[in-house]
Amino acid sequence: MSTPAIDVRGLTRTFALKSGPVHAVRGIDLTAERGEILGFLGPNGAGKTTTLRMLATLLPPTGGDAVIAGRDLRRDPAGVRRRIGYVAQAGGLDPACPVREELVTQGRLHRLSRPDARDRAAELASDLGLTGLLERPTAALSGGQRRRLEIALGLVDRPEVLFLDEPTTGLDPGSRAELWDLIRRIRAEHGTTVVLTTHYLDEADALADRVVVVDAGTVVAEGSPADLKTRHAGDPAASLQDAFLAITGRRPSGEHAPVAI
């Protein structure tokens, strides 16, 4: 049996506030196999974004262990960072910066030479439909084009694991469909493990090989979309939202809901 791309055991995160400790993540166990698309779902405030930020080395865990792409999260965070890509909910694009410069700068941050960074920028632009936009400032891009660029930035170092936090929030149906195809292609062509959070349950149903549902900082259900619908909604033909409501008693976090800490 191959080693999982992600193996998490007892991951916790507590925030010390003046009003008292907030236990945002309370001991999460999860795995993701190599080349798997894993949907990471939960109501607003469930701890999804906190968990992704820990796995992406942006936030130190309070407790627990994780091995990501063969590197220990707590002992070797730099090794983890060299093997992952992370696309946050809110992008950090410079509105005045041209697309090519954003991609080349990201390549340079990953220690590529300038010629190699330019070659990688051209390669990603071709793969993600950005070639005709390379000289355009990011402020002039549509929502779907910006999201494709943000995903391209997350792919510059050819990551083994790609974390996508709400990748299609605010996009029109056509742009969402294009990004769905892109995510499938990233996995199919490169064997990339993709972990995505989303409040669009049809998106998780369409994309995810397996779904993990968290609530109040713990895992409350996991399985394939069909398995969750059968076990929790009583019918494999039911919607994933029916299963989600049965599991959590709540709807998924809304498009404009605050980010979970």
Q: How much is the pLDDT for 172?
A: 87
On whether residue 261 sits in a domain, the answer given is no
Task: Work out the average pLDDT over 95-117.
Answer: 96
Q: 36: helix, coil or strand?
A: coil
**One domain, residues 180 and 76:** yes
Rounded to an integer, what distance in angstroms lies between the CA atom of residue 128 and that of residue 123? 9
Q: For residue range 160-178, what is the model confidence (pLDDT) as tens digits?
A: 999 999 999 888 888 889 8
Q: Among all chains, which residue has been given the structure tokens 């397996």?
A: 210
- pTM exceeding the 0.95 threshold for the entire prediction: no
State how many domains the chain has.
2
Query: Which distant-in-sequence residues (6+ apart) come within 8 Å of 189 by Cβ?
Result: none
Under 8 Å between Cβ of 243 and 252? no
Report the CATH number that the domain containing residue 22 is assigned in CATH.
3.40.50.300
Q: For residue range 241-253, what is the model confidence (pLDDT) as tens digits?
A: 999 999 998 766 5
Query: 183 is in which domain, residue-wise?
Result: 6-83+159-248
On whether residue 131 sits in a domain, the answer given is yes
Would you say residue 260 has pLDDT above 60? no
On whether residue 211 sits in a domain, the answer given is yes
**One domain, residues 70 and 105:** no
